[in-house]
Structure 1
Amino acid sequence: MSRFTDRDRERIRSQLVEAGRELFTQFGFERTRISDLTAEVGIGTSTFYQFFDSKEALYVDVLLAERESLEGKIAAAVAEVDTPREEVRVLLKTTLSEVRANPLISSLIVDGELRALQDRIADAESDGHSIAIEPHDSELPFAERWAKLDAFRYDDPELIDQLFVSLVFTARSRNAPIGPGTDAAYEEVEDALIETIVEGVFEGE
Protein backbone atom coordinates (compact mmCIF):
# COMPACT_ATOMS: atom_id res chain seq x y z
CA MET A 1 0.00 0.00 0.00
CA SER A 2 1.27 3.48 -0.86
CA ARG A 3 2.34 5.59 2.09
CA PHE A 4 1.45 8.76 0.21
CA THR A 5 -1.75 10.72 0.62
CA ASP A 6 -3.62 11.85 -2.49
CA ARG A 7 -2.18 15.33 -2.00
CA ASP A 8 1.33 13.91 -1.70
CA ARG A 9 0.88 11.87 -4.84
CA GLU A 10 -0.34 14.86 -6.81
CA ARG A 11 2.57 16.96 -5.57
CA ILE A 12 5.23 14.33 -6.28
CA ARG A 13 3.83 13.57 -9.71
CA SER A 14 3.92 17.27 -10.59
CA GLN A 15 7.48 17.50 -9.28
CA LEU A 16 8.53 14.54 -11.40
CA VAL A 17 7.05 16.15 -14.50
CA GLU A 18 8.87 19.41 -13.74
CA ALA A 19 12.13 17.55 -13.06
CA GLY A 20 11.63 15.66 -16.30
CA ARG A 21 11.10 18.88 -18.22
CA GLU A 22 14.33 20.35 -16.84
CA LEU A 23 16.51 17.24 -17.22
CA PHE A 24 15.14 16.15 -20.61
CA THR A 25 15.76 19.70 -21.85
CA GLN A 26 19.30 19.78 -20.50
CA PHE A 27 20.49 16.23 -21.19
CA GLY A 28 17.96 14.68 -23.57
CA PHE A 29 15.75 11.66 -23.02
CA GLU A 30 18.39 8.95 -23.43
CA ARG A 31 20.96 10.50 -21.08
CA THR A 32 18.48 11.22 -18.32
CA ARG A 33 18.26 8.38 -15.80
CA ILE A 34 15.37 7.59 -13.50
CA SER A 35 17.76 8.01 -10.57
CA ASP A 36 18.47 11.57 -11.78
CA LEU A 37 14.76 12.32 -11.78
CA THR A 38 14.08 10.88 -8.36
CA ALA A 39 17.11 12.65 -6.87
CA GLU A 40 15.63 15.96 -7.98
CA VAL A 41 12.34 15.16 -6.26
CA GLY A 42 13.81 13.51 -3.17
CA ILE A 43 12.25 10.07 -3.50
CA GLY A 44 13.76 6.61 -3.94
CA THR A 45 14.27 5.18 -7.41
CA SER A 46 11.83 2.34 -6.75
CA THR A 47 9.18 4.87 -5.68
CA PHE A 48 9.23 6.34 -9.19
CA TYR A 49 7.18 3.37 -10.40
CA GLN A 50 4.32 4.28 -8.09
CA PHE A 51 3.82 7.31 -10.34
CA PHE A 52 4.95 6.26 -13.83
CA ASP A 53 5.32 2.85 -15.43
CA SER A 54 8.51 3.92 -17.21
CA LYS A 55 10.72 6.83 -18.13
CA GLU A 56 8.91 6.88 -21.48
CA ALA A 57 5.58 7.39 -19.70
CA LEU A 58 6.97 10.41 -17.86
CA TYR A 59 8.40 11.77 -21.11
CA VAL A 60 4.95 11.53 -22.70
CA ASP A 61 3.48 13.62 -19.87
CA VAL A 62 6.27 16.17 -20.25
CA LEU A 63 5.75 16.46 -24.01
CA LEU A 64 1.99 16.77 -23.61
CA ALA A 65 2.51 19.58 -21.09
CA GLU A 66 4.90 21.33 -23.48
CA ARG A 67 2.41 21.01 -26.31
CA GLU A 68 -0.35 22.48 -24.14
CA SER A 69 1.94 25.37 -23.21
CA LEU A 70 2.79 26.00 -26.86
CA GLU A 71 -0.87 25.98 -27.85
CA GLY A 72 -1.58 28.51 -25.09
CA LYS A 73 1.17 30.83 -26.34
CA ILE A 74 -0.10 30.55 -29.90
CA ALA A 75 -3.69 31.24 -28.84
CA ALA A 76 -2.59 34.31 -26.86
CA ALA A 77 -0.55 35.64 -29.78
CA VAL A 78 -3.35 35.07 -32.29
CA ALA A 79 -5.89 36.74 -29.99
CA GLU A 80 -3.95 40.00 -30.25
CA VAL A 81 -4.30 40.37 -34.04
CA ASP A 82 -7.31 41.20 -36.18
CA THR A 83 -6.97 39.46 -39.54
CA PRO A 84 -6.43 35.90 -40.76
CA ARG A 85 -3.20 37.00 -42.46
CA GLU A 86 -1.85 38.26 -39.15
CA GLU A 87 -3.05 35.09 -37.44
CA VAL A 88 -1.00 32.93 -39.79
CA ARG A 89 2.00 35.23 -39.44
CA VAL A 90 2.04 35.23 -35.62
CA LEU A 91 1.30 31.51 -35.41
CA LEU A 92 4.31 30.71 -37.54
CA LYS A 93 6.54 33.25 -35.79
CA THR A 94 5.55 31.99 -32.34
CA THR A 95 5.99 28.34 -33.27
CA LEU A 96 9.38 28.85 -34.90
CA SER A 97 10.57 30.88 -31.93
CA GLU A 98 9.56 28.12 -29.51
CA VAL A 99 11.22 25.43 -31.63
CA ARG A 100 14.48 27.39 -31.55
CA ALA A 101 14.34 28.10 -27.82
CA ASN A 102 12.88 24.86 -26.45
CA PRO A 103 14.49 21.49 -27.28
CA LEU A 104 11.34 19.68 -26.10
CA ILE A 105 9.15 21.60 -28.55
CA SER A 106 11.69 20.84 -31.25
CA SER A 107 11.52 17.14 -30.38
CA LEU A 108 7.74 17.28 -30.29
CA ILE A 109 7.18 18.98 -33.65
CA VAL A 110 10.31 18.44 -35.73
CA ASP A 111 11.27 14.96 -34.57
CA GLY A 112 7.72 13.78 -33.90
CA GLU A 113 8.82 12.07 -30.69
CA LEU A 114 5.38 11.98 -29.10
CA ARG A 115 4.03 9.94 -31.99
CA ALA A 116 7.08 7.66 -31.90
CA LEU A 117 6.52 7.05 -28.21
CA GLN A 118 3.00 5.85 -28.92
CA ASP A 119 4.49 2.90 -30.77
CA ARG A 120 7.10 2.24 -28.10
CA ILE A 121 4.53 2.22 -25.31
CA ALA A 122 2.00 0.07 -27.19
CA ASP A 123 3.82 -3.05 -25.99
CA ALA A 124 3.35 -1.96 -22.37
CA GLU A 125 -0.38 -1.57 -22.94
CA SER A 126 -0.57 -5.16 -24.13
CA ASP A 127 0.94 -6.21 -20.79
CA GLY A 128 -1.92 -4.59 -18.91
CA HIS A 129 -0.54 -1.07 -18.54
CA SER A 130 -2.54 1.69 -20.17
CA ILE A 131 -1.17 5.16 -20.91
CA ALA A 132 -3.46 7.82 -22.34
CA ILE A 133 -1.86 9.69 -25.25
CA GLU A 134 -3.44 12.25 -27.52
CA PRO A 135 -4.05 10.92 -31.05
CA HIS A 136 -1.96 13.56 -32.81
CA ASP A 137 1.19 15.55 -32.15
CA SER A 138 1.11 18.59 -34.38
CA GLU A 139 -2.47 19.51 -35.31
CA LEU A 140 -2.89 23.24 -35.69
CA PRO A 141 -5.89 24.62 -33.80
CA PHE A 142 -6.77 27.17 -36.48
CA ALA A 143 -6.37 25.14 -39.68
CA GLU A 144 -10.02 24.10 -39.92
CA ARG A 145 -11.26 27.67 -39.56
CA TRP A 146 -8.79 29.02 -42.09
CA ALA A 147 -9.74 26.29 -44.57
CA LYS A 148 -13.29 27.70 -44.66
CA LEU A 149 -12.20 31.21 -45.64
CA ASP A 150 -12.87 32.19 -49.25
CA ALA A 151 -9.56 34.06 -49.39
CA PHE A 152 -7.56 31.08 -48.17
CA ARG A 153 -6.02 29.13 -51.03
CA TYR A 154 -6.46 25.66 -49.50
CA ASP A 155 -9.57 24.02 -48.09
CA ASP A 156 -7.99 20.90 -46.59
CA PRO A 157 -7.13 21.43 -42.88
CA GLU A 158 -4.74 18.48 -42.89
CA LEU A 159 -2.83 19.93 -45.84
CA ILE A 160 -2.65 23.30 -44.08
CA ASP A 161 -1.42 21.59 -40.94
CA GLN A 162 1.36 19.75 -42.76
CA LEU A 163 2.34 22.81 -44.79
CA PHE A 164 2.95 24.85 -41.68
CA VAL A 165 4.64 22.02 -39.80
CA SER A 166 7.01 21.56 -42.74
CA LEU A 167 8.05 25.20 -42.41
CA VAL A 168 9.05 24.52 -38.82
CA PHE A 169 11.91 22.38 -40.10
CA THR A 170 13.60 25.60 -41.21
CA ALA A 171 14.27 26.32 -37.54
CA ARG A 172 16.99 23.69 -37.80
CA SER A 173 18.77 25.49 -40.63
CA ARG A 174 20.52 27.84 -38.21
CA ASN A 175 22.66 24.93 -37.04
CA ALA A 176 23.26 23.45 -40.48
CA PRO A 177 26.66 23.97 -42.19
CA ILE A 178 25.00 25.83 -45.04
CA GLY A 179 22.62 27.80 -42.83
CA PRO A 180 22.86 31.48 -41.88
CA GLY A 181 25.95 32.27 -39.83
CA THR A 182 24.32 34.61 -37.28
CA ASP A 183 21.05 34.92 -35.42
CA ALA A 184 20.27 38.13 -37.28
CA ALA A 185 20.83 36.47 -40.65
CA TYR A 186 18.70 33.51 -39.61
CA GLU A 187 15.85 35.72 -38.43
CA GLU A 188 15.93 37.60 -41.74
CA VAL A 189 15.60 34.30 -43.61
CA GLU A 190 12.84 33.17 -41.26
CA ASP A 191 10.87 36.39 -41.71
CA ALA A 192 11.18 36.10 -45.49
CA LEU A 193 9.94 32.51 -45.40
CA ILE A 194 6.97 33.45 -43.22
CA GLU A 195 6.01 36.30 -45.53
CA THR A 196 6.30 33.98 -48.53
CA ILE A 197 3.98 31.46 -46.88
CA VAL A 198 1.46 34.11 -45.83
CA GLU A 199 1.32 35.61 -49.31
CA GLY A 200 1.09 32.16 -50.86
CA VAL A 201 -1.83 30.83 -48.83
CA PHE A 202 -4.07 33.86 -49.34
CA GLU A 203 -5.58 34.84 -52.66
CA GLY A 204 -5.73 38.59 -53.35
CA GLU A 205 -6.42 40.93 -50.47
Structure 2
Amino acid sequence: MSRFTDQDRERIRSQLVTAGRELFTQYGFERTRVSDLTTEVGIGTSTFYQFFDSKEALYVEVLLAERESLEEQIVAAVTQVETPREEVRVLLKTMLSEVRANPLISSLIVDGELRALQDRISEAGADGESIPTRARDSELPFAERWAELEAFRYEDPELIDQFIISLVFTARSRNAPMGADTDAAYERVEDALIETVVDGLFEGN
Protein backbone atom coordinates (compact mmCIF):
# COMPACT_ATOMS: atom_id res chain seq x y z
CA MET A 1 0.00 0.00 0.00
CA SER A 2 1.33 3.42 -0.98
CA ARG A 3 2.13 5.77 1.82
CA PHE A 4 1.06 9.39 1.55
CA THR A 5 1.72 12.37 3.74
CA ASP A 6 -1.31 14.13 5.19
CA GLN A 7 -0.77 16.88 2.63
CA ASP A 8 -0.67 14.34 -0.21
CA ARG A 9 -3.84 12.67 1.01
CA GLU A 10 -5.69 15.95 1.24
CA ARG A 11 -4.54 16.92 -2.26
CA ILE A 12 -5.45 13.59 -3.87
CA ARG A 13 -8.82 13.42 -2.15
CA SER A 14 -9.62 16.93 -3.35
CA GLN A 15 -8.53 16.02 -6.87
CA LEU A 16 -10.75 12.94 -6.85
CA VAL A 17 -13.75 15.03 -5.78
CA THR A 18 -13.00 17.56 -8.53
CA ALA A 19 -12.57 14.83 -11.14
CA GLY A 20 -15.74 13.16 -9.88
CA ARG A 21 -17.73 16.36 -10.28
CA GLU A 22 -16.51 16.82 -13.85
CA LEU A 23 -16.99 13.21 -14.96
CA PHE A 24 -20.30 12.60 -13.16
CA THR A 25 -21.61 15.82 -14.70
CA GLN A 26 -20.46 14.87 -18.19
CA TYR A 27 -21.17 11.14 -18.25
CA GLY A 28 -23.41 10.43 -15.27
CA PHE A 29 -22.78 8.12 -12.36
CA GLU A 30 -23.31 4.79 -14.12
CA ARG A 31 -21.07 5.52 -17.11
CA THR A 32 -18.21 6.88 -15.04
CA ARG A 33 -15.71 4.18 -14.07
CA VAL A 34 -13.25 4.20 -11.19
CA SER A 35 -10.47 3.87 -13.79
CA ASP A 36 -11.72 7.08 -15.47
CA LEU A 37 -11.43 8.89 -12.16
CA THR A 38 -7.98 7.59 -11.33
CA THR A 39 -6.67 8.33 -14.83
CA GLU A 40 -7.86 11.90 -14.45
CA VAL A 41 -6.03 12.26 -11.13
CA GLY A 42 -2.96 10.24 -12.13
CA ILE A 43 -3.13 7.49 -9.53
CA GLY A 44 -3.57 3.72 -9.73
CA THR A 45 -7.02 2.16 -9.49
CA SER A 46 -6.13 0.35 -6.28
CA THR A 47 -5.03 3.65 -4.75
CA PHE A 48 -8.55 5.01 -5.20
CA TYR A 49 -9.78 2.71 -2.44
CA GLN A 50 -7.38 4.25 0.05
CA PHE A 51 -9.52 7.38 -0.21
CA PHE A 52 -13.05 6.11 -0.89
CA ASP A 53 -14.66 2.74 -0.20
CA SER A 54 -16.50 2.82 -3.50
CA LYS A 55 -17.51 4.96 -6.45
CA GLU A 56 -20.80 5.49 -4.61
CA ALA A 57 -18.97 7.00 -1.64
CA LEU A 58 -17.20 9.48 -3.91
CA TYR A 59 -20.49 10.35 -5.60
CA VAL A 60 -22.04 11.08 -2.20
CA GLU A 61 -19.13 13.40 -1.42
CA VAL A 62 -19.62 15.20 -4.73
CA LEU A 63 -23.37 15.56 -4.17
CA LEU A 64 -22.80 16.89 -0.66
CA ALA A 65 -20.43 19.52 -2.04
CA GLU A 66 -22.97 20.49 -4.69
CA ARG A 67 -25.71 20.80 -2.10
CA GLU A 68 -23.55 23.00 0.11
CA SER A 69 -22.74 25.19 -2.89
CA LEU A 70 -26.44 25.49 -3.76
CA GLU A 71 -27.30 26.40 -0.17
CA GLU A 72 -24.62 29.11 -0.22
CA GLN A 73 -26.04 30.49 -3.48
CA ILE A 74 -29.54 30.56 -2.01
CA VAL A 75 -28.42 32.33 1.16
CA ALA A 76 -26.42 34.87 -0.86
CA ALA A 77 -29.41 35.56 -3.13
CA VAL A 78 -31.96 35.80 -0.32
CA THR A 79 -29.86 38.17 1.77
CA GLN A 80 -29.78 40.64 -1.12
CA VAL A 81 -33.54 41.29 -0.97
CA GLU A 82 -35.62 43.07 1.63
CA THR A 83 -39.04 41.40 1.86
CA PRO A 84 -40.24 37.83 2.51
CA ARG A 85 -42.03 37.83 -0.85
CA GLU A 86 -38.76 38.61 -2.60
CA GLU A 87 -37.00 35.96 -0.52
CA VAL A 88 -39.37 33.27 -1.75
CA ARG A 89 -39.10 34.57 -5.31
CA VAL A 90 -35.29 34.52 -5.48
CA LEU A 91 -35.07 31.18 -3.66
CA LEU A 92 -37.35 29.54 -6.22
CA LYS A 93 -35.55 31.22 -9.11
CA THR A 94 -32.16 30.05 -7.84
CA MET A 95 -33.27 26.47 -7.25
CA LEU A 96 -35.09 26.10 -10.57
CA SER A 97 -32.19 27.64 -12.46
CA GLU A 98 -29.65 25.32 -10.86
CA VAL A 99 -31.74 22.21 -11.48
CA ARG A 100 -31.99 23.09 -15.17
CA ALA A 101 -28.31 23.96 -15.55
CA ASN A 102 -26.60 21.46 -13.23
CA PRO A 103 -27.18 17.71 -13.73
CA LEU A 104 -25.80 16.98 -10.27
CA ILE A 105 -28.28 19.31 -8.59
CA SER A 106 -31.05 17.71 -10.64
CA SER A 107 -29.92 14.27 -9.49
CA LEU A 108 -29.72 15.49 -5.91
CA ILE A 109 -33.09 17.21 -5.62
CA VAL A 110 -35.30 15.79 -8.37
CA ASP A 111 -34.07 12.20 -8.43
CA GLY A 112 -33.25 11.96 -4.73
CA GLU A 113 -29.99 10.14 -5.43
CA LEU A 114 -28.24 11.20 -2.23
CA ARG A 115 -30.64 9.30 0.03
CA ALA A 116 -30.65 6.30 -2.33
CA LEU A 117 -26.86 6.15 -2.26
CA GLN A 118 -26.81 6.53 1.50
CA ASP A 119 -29.13 3.54 1.79
CA ARG A 120 -27.03 1.47 -0.62
CA ILE A 121 -23.82 2.24 1.26
CA SER A 122 -25.46 1.37 4.58
CA GLU A 123 -26.78 -1.92 3.20
CA ALA A 124 -23.32 -2.78 1.89
CA GLY A 125 -21.88 -2.26 5.36
CA ALA A 126 -19.46 0.47 4.32
CA ASP A 127 -18.15 2.77 7.00
CA GLY A 128 -19.09 5.82 4.95
CA GLU A 129 -17.15 8.13 7.30
CA SER A 130 -19.55 10.99 8.18
CA ILE A 131 -21.99 10.20 5.37
CA PRO A 132 -24.95 8.99 7.50
CA THR A 133 -25.15 12.26 9.40
CA ARG A 134 -24.22 14.60 6.56
CA ALA A 135 -26.45 13.05 3.89
CA ARG A 136 -29.62 14.52 5.28
CA ASP A 137 -32.53 15.73 3.20
CA SER A 138 -32.31 19.32 2.08
CA GLU A 139 -33.86 21.79 4.50
CA LEU A 140 -34.68 25.39 3.72
CA PRO A 141 -33.14 27.69 6.36
CA PHE A 142 -35.96 30.20 5.91
CA ALA A 143 -39.05 28.03 6.33
CA GLU A 144 -39.33 28.49 10.10
CA ARG A 145 -39.10 32.27 9.80
CA TRP A 146 -41.67 32.40 7.03
CA ALA A 147 -44.02 30.19 9.03
CA GLU A 148 -44.09 32.79 11.80
CA LEU A 149 -45.17 35.61 9.51
CA GLU A 150 -48.79 36.66 9.85
CA ALA A 151 -49.08 37.19 6.10
CA PHE A 152 -47.67 33.77 5.20
CA ARG A 153 -50.38 31.25 4.40
CA TYR A 154 -48.86 28.20 6.13
CA GLU A 155 -47.57 27.72 9.67
CA ASP A 156 -45.83 24.35 9.35
CA PRO A 157 -42.12 24.77 8.40
CA GLU A 158 -41.88 21.15 7.26
CA LEU A 159 -44.85 21.61 4.94
CA ILE A 160 -43.30 24.79 3.54
CA ASP A 161 -39.99 23.02 3.01
CA GLN A 162 -41.55 20.08 1.18
CA PHE A 163 -43.84 22.33 -0.84
CA ILE A 164 -40.94 24.42 -2.12
CA ILE A 165 -38.83 21.36 -2.90
CA SER A 166 -41.70 19.73 -4.81
CA LEU A 167 -41.91 22.71 -7.14
CA VAL A 168 -38.43 21.96 -8.39
CA PHE A 169 -39.86 19.02 -10.31
CA THR A 170 -41.41 21.51 -12.72
CA ALA A 171 -37.92 22.27 -14.01
CA ARG A 172 -38.18 18.97 -15.84
CA SER A 173 -41.20 20.19 -17.80
CA ARG A 174 -39.04 21.48 -20.65
CA ASN A 175 -38.25 17.83 -21.48
CA ALA A 176 -41.93 16.83 -21.57
CA PRO A 177 -43.94 16.80 -24.83
CA MET A 178 -45.94 19.86 -23.72
CA GLY A 179 -42.93 21.70 -22.30
CA ALA A 180 -41.55 24.99 -23.59
CA ASP A 181 -39.29 24.44 -26.60
CA THR A 182 -36.87 27.39 -26.20
CA ASP A 183 -34.96 28.92 -23.33
CA ALA A 184 -36.87 32.18 -23.67
CA ALA A 185 -40.22 30.39 -23.64
CA TYR A 186 -39.23 28.34 -20.62
CA GLU A 187 -38.07 31.47 -18.77
CA ARG A 188 -41.52 33.00 -19.29
CA VAL A 189 -43.22 29.86 -18.01
CA GLU A 190 -40.88 29.69 -15.02
CA ASP A 191 -41.37 33.36 -14.13
CA ALA A 192 -45.15 33.00 -14.36
CA LEU A 193 -45.03 29.91 -12.15
CA ILE A 194 -42.90 31.65 -9.53
CA GLU A 195 -45.16 34.70 -9.43
CA THR A 196 -48.23 32.49 -9.06
CA VAL A 197 -46.65 30.53 -6.22
CA VAL A 198 -45.51 33.66 -4.39
CA ASP A 199 -48.95 35.24 -4.69
CA GLY A 200 -50.50 32.05 -3.33
CA LEU A 201 -48.17 31.80 -0.35
CA PHE A 202 -48.86 35.30 0.95
CA GLU A 203 -52.25 36.62 1.97
CA GLY A 204 -53.01 40.06 0.59
CA ASN A 205 -50.86 42.06 -1.82
Per the shorter chain, which TM-score range? over 0.9
Shift of 1:137: 2.5
Question: Following the alignment from structure 1 to structure 2, what is the Cα–Cα distance between the partners of residues 143 and 77?
Answer: 15
Question: Following the alignment from structure 1 to structure 2, what is the Cα–Cα distance between the partners of residues 83 and 183?
Answer: 28
Residue deviations 1:121-151 (CA, integer Å, cap 9, x gap): 11233x6x24322252321121111111111
Note if contact 1:108-1:137 (Cα within 8 Å) is conserved in structure 2: no
Residue of structure 2 in register with 1:85 after alignment: 85
Residue of structure 2 in register with 1:53 after alignment: 53
Amino acid at match of 2:147: A
Alignment gaps of 5+ in structure 2: none
Residue of structure 2 in register with 1:131 after alignment: 129
Question: Following the alignment from structure 1 to structure 2, what is the Cα–Cα distance between the partners of residues 139 and 75?
Answer: 12
Alignment gaps of 5+ in structure 1: none
Bigger mean CA offset, 147-156 vs 44-53:
147-156
Amino acid at match of 2:170: T
Residue deviations 1:24-65 (CA, integer Å, cap 9, x gap): 000000000000000000000000000000000000000000
Question: Following the alignment from structure 1 to structure 2, what is the Cα–Cα distance between the partners of residues 55 and 21?
Answer: 12
Residue of structure 2 in register with 1:168 after alignment: 168
Note if contact 1:57-1:131 (Cα within 8 Å) is conserved in structure 2: no
Q: TM-score if structure 2 supplies the norm length? A: 0.96
Question: Following the alignment from structure 2 to structure 1, what is the Cα–Cα distance between the partners of residues 80 and 196?
Answer: 22
Residue of structure 1 in register with 2:147 after alignment: 147
SS at match of 1:139: coil
Residue of structure 1 in register with 2:111 after alignment: 111
Amino acid at match of 1:86: E
Question: Following the alignment from structure 2 to structure 1, what is the Cα–Cα distance between the partners of residues 137 and 56?
Answer: 16
Question: Following the alignment from structure 1 to structure 2, what is the Cα–Cα distance between the partners of residues 193 and 44?
Answer: 49
1:40 aligns with 2:32: no
Residue of structure 1 in register with 2:10 after alignment: 10
Question: Following the alignment from structure 1 to structure 2, what is the Cα–Cα distance between the partners of residues 9 and 57?
Answer: 16
Amino acid at match of 2:6: D
Aligned length: 203
Give the superposed CA RMSD.
Answer: 1.2
Residue of structure 1 in register with 2:185 after alignment: 185
Shift of 1:2: 4.2
Amino acid at match of 2:129: I
Shift of 1:163: 0.8
Residue deviations 1:6-26 (CA, integer Å, cap 9, x gap): 000000000000000000000
SS at match of 1:50: coil
Question: Following the alignment from structure 2 to structure 1, what is the Cα–Cα distance between the partners of residues 128 and 66?
Answer: 21
